[in-house]
Structure 1
């Protein structure tokens, strides 16, 4: 067991909300402070560890479960985890937080408005959903259940990334 407490920050929100950008900035700040940290990004998981999963409810739940186990293992080995994934269902996020340990896991809701996420559309997913090429887009055809009581609520449309990092580290 590590001599210091490790933390998992679970960043949840719609595609384009700023989760990955914020996760990378938080990881950089932690590394600058000589803290061991690993970003667990939903897109990266889907390109490797979770490439066998689809986007139906059961597959999304399994992807969240895998990310939670990964974060728990990282924390147990003295490494902070910054999880950046949509994780749309409250039930699965709650199970993930319980698995990691509520005392070490902080849920951060990146509540950037859908309209802003659609304008950003870094991966072209909203455009694909709009023309019918994507049928299970969270926030469009598939529901996103916002956290009821996250440790922190951020909107990257109005909060600078550097300020958001400081707010996260203060919780």
Structure 2
């Protein structure tokens, strides 16, 4: 299959575990499906197990233990997937529920106040040096880790942390001054 086509590349690394997974794939999918309750999610679980096993260093285990190890990984991943799914279902609702939700405080006055605050923050960000603004926006708006921003800008992660802090302080000060 396409998704297991990389087994040749990683086979040198740990041939027996990957081989055990590929040889028992259909049984592993059935095992995961019993836990997740969905065949396609079970396929995803087995794919995740394959990716995990591709990165495992060589283990000196007998063949039966290797097969058991692969089944344990799939079982644990399926349980994790099931728990995540249950948690998501617990905290999410249907689309119809969302349409009937009353938004408190969404008056024209509060909407205007929020828009004015956003305009003030935009003005404050435009007052910052471009590199500081970029670091702040990438971290706070796009969720890029600080170490990645530092690498991209060619500076230390500590400097990125200070730039983000300085931008936040500047925005808070600007918003505070405008509301006084």
TM-score range, shorter chain: under 0.3
Greater per-residue strand proportion: 1
Higher alpha-carbon Rg: 2
Greater per-residue helix proportion: 2
Higher relative contact order (CA 8 A, sep 6+): 1
What TM-score results when the alignment is normalised by the length of structure 1? 0.23
What TM-score results when the alignment is normalised by the length of structure 2? 0.22
